[in-house]
Amino acid sequence: MMTCRDLAEKLGAWKAGELPLQARALLSLHAAWCPCCRALMATYDTTLTLSAELADQRVPDEVAAAFDTMIDRAMDG
Amino acid sequence: MALGPRSSYPDAVTTELHRLRARDRAAFTELCHAHRDRLYGIAWSVTRDRQEALDVLQDTLTSAWRNLDQLDDGAAIGAWLGSIALNHARMRLRTRRRKPAEPTEDIDALYDQGGHRIGDVARWPQADDALERARMRRRLEVLVERLPDDARELWALADVQHLSMQEISALTGLHVANVKTRLHRVRLQLREWLAADLGVPR
């Protein structure tokens, strides 16, 4: 029998697909009747989504334009 | 052929490694271009500051050029470069005046002896509204500043930069299992803080 604490502890591994079938089934069963855990799972996902939305991985234009100069500077000390 | 992050041709790797160790400027330039976006991403994710990320990128290129003779594994060159970038980003963070990290909550204390959650956990307001969502992102950016540097770094590399657990392990020296465990606790902590900040039962 899984508890709320078990679900919180295993949620990361569950989402990563790293739990065996039986553990997944038990967690699903717990979540089915536990509104707190369903809310926790939903808000955990929202936290991850918000984090991903903070990404600004585009290299700024000024870096792209100056990158060769940066490399030359690195090589020429 | 530059040693890009996914290079899988052993002969090409060996040839490029020789060129780099001989300080071939063209080979180094190709290498830098192949890893530019990833290195900038690491620098920006950890420092969360565009100017500092640019400085980290420059420092990374300079250190890499100076230490090319230390390269002995062409296949691991991406991790080597990433580690240099991460170290420079860490140095920038150390010199930046930051508020001390706030104590993280004892997640276990949120559960009773039987493992049941104490109190309610509520869903958050639907963040379909663009303004509300932007507000939540701004709150999250503030809240991550409460994290200790090492926890914030894991969050930045995994959840903002989307590096794999293996990549983060190679960069930080932590075992993959340790990265996963720590990262999950950081995520739970951020969820708790965000819920409290939103004023909903958590």
pTM of the predicted protein model: 0.83
> pLDDT tens-digit profile of B69-101?
888 776 688 889 999 999 999 999 888 766 666
Q: What is the model's pLDDT at position B14? A: 79
B91 and B16 together in one domain? yes
Domain extent listing, chain A: 4-76
A26–chain B Cβ distance below 8 A for any pair: no
In angstroms, the separation between the Cα of residue A64 and the nearest Cα of chain B is: 9
Where residue B132 falls among pLDDT bands split at 50, 70, 90?
A: confident
Residues in chain A within 8 Å Cβ distance of B62: 73-74, 77
Q: What does the block give as tokens for B51?
A: 């100017």
Inform me whether the C-beta atom of residue B25 falls under 8 Å from chain A C-beta atoms: yes
Q: Which tens digit of pLDDT belongs to each residue from A25-66? A: 999 999 999 999 999 999 999 999 999 988 765 678 888 888
Residue B78 resides in a domain: yes
Residue B19's domain comprises 10-95
> Is B42 found in the same domain as B89?
yes
Can you say whether the dihedral through the CA atoms of A54, A58, A61, A62 is positive or negative? positive
Read off the pLDDT of each residue in B34-51 and give the average, rounded to a whole number. 90
The mean pLDDT value of chain A amounts to 92
pLDDT for B156: 93
**A77: nearest CA partner in chain B:** B62
Q: Could B36 and A59 be called an inter-chain contact, meaning their C-beta atoms sit closer than 8 Å?
A: yes
Predicted local confidence at residue B1, as pLDDT: 46
What CATH number did the domain enclosing B117 receive?
1.10.10.10
Rounded to whole angstroms, the Cα distance separating A16 from A29 reads: 18
A74 close to B (CB below 8 A): yes
The pLDDT value given to residue B71: 84
DSSP code for B119: S
Interface predicted TM-score (ipTM) of this complex, two decimals: 0.88
Give the pLDDT of residue A57: 52
Do residue B54 and residue B113 come from a single domain?
A: no
